[in-house]
Amino acid sequence: MFILFITLACASRTDHTPVPVTAPDMVPMAVKMEIDYDTAQWTELTTDLGFVIDIKYATADNFVKEAVYPCGRCFLRKAAAKALMKVQSDLKVKGYKLKLFDCYRPRPVQEKLWKKVPNPDYVAPPSEGSMHNRGVAIDLTITDKSGKEIDMGTSYDFFGPQAHHDYTKHAKSILDNRILLKNVMEKNGFASIRTEWWHYSLASGSYKLEDWEWSCD
């Protein structure tokens, strides 16, 4: 706490002893929030880092129509997070931002999704696990500076050929948007899958499946 000293001069005091007074406009700095995850293994991606965060599985706005995460936080393995920040930096100079729909996904959630859609073209079988369960996959799109999504032709988690990378019947502007995302992700070490324009995973490294679930406190 910052302390000021002033001298009181009044009839009842003649020794001019400095009296400590707290400055009214000086307040202690806020205590930094405690980190509640293993920073040696994980990085949390937040709006403070410039990302637009819209974790769909923490809401009912997803293909299972119910929340399967207790709250919307985005974690990636440190290598994947570092690569994604490079993607963000590359897009920023073009006037764009990244919007994140899904990041690390605990394996118990994978089981719930598989029960809803037991189709390996769209949901990895829990026995094999997803790259999301390993913390190196990201579902995302591109937005303008204000956070408005650019047109990718379908919504997130659209199950059908229109969401595939090899679908060419969209307008050229949409195909160009997909190419922009694909090129910048691949440049920074991510790989795509054929059926989902929004899904990318780190192309290098080996990571174990995880059951860890984040805190919502």
| Predicted pLDDT at 1 | 40
> Are residues 170 and 164 in contact, defined by beta-carbon separation less than 8 angstroms?
no
Using pLDDT thresholds of 50, 70 and 90, give the confidence band for residue 122. Answer: confident
Q: What percent of the chain has pLDDT over 90?
A: 76
Range name among 30-34, 94-98, 187-191, 202-206 with the lowest pLDDT average: 30-34
| Predicted pLDDT at 33 | 58
Using pLDDT thresholds of 50, 70 and 90, give the confidence band for residue 121. Answer: confident
Average pLDDT score over residue span 104-120: 91
Q: In 144-172, which positions are buried (b, 16+ CB within 10 angstroms) versus exposed (e)?
A: eeeeeebebbbebbbeeeebbeebeebee
Question: 5-17, pLDDT tens digit by residue?
Answer: 333 343 444 444 4
Using pLDDT thresholds of 50, 70 and 90, give the confidence band for residue 83. Answer: very high
Question: 164-180, pLDDT tens digit by residue?
Answer: 999 999 999 999 999 99
> Are residues 110 and 122 in contact, defined by beta-carbon separation less than 8 angstroms?
no
The answer to whether residue 91 scores a pLDDT higher than 90 is yes
| Predicted pLDDT at 23 | 42
- pTM (two decimals): 0.82
* Cβ-based burial of 101 (10 A; exposed 0-12, middle 13-18, buried ≥19): buried
| Predicted pLDDT at 36 | 87
Question: 124-158, pLDDT tens digit by residue?
Answer: 898 889 999 999 999 999 999 999 999 999 999 99
Q: What percent of the chain has pLDDT over 70?
A: 85
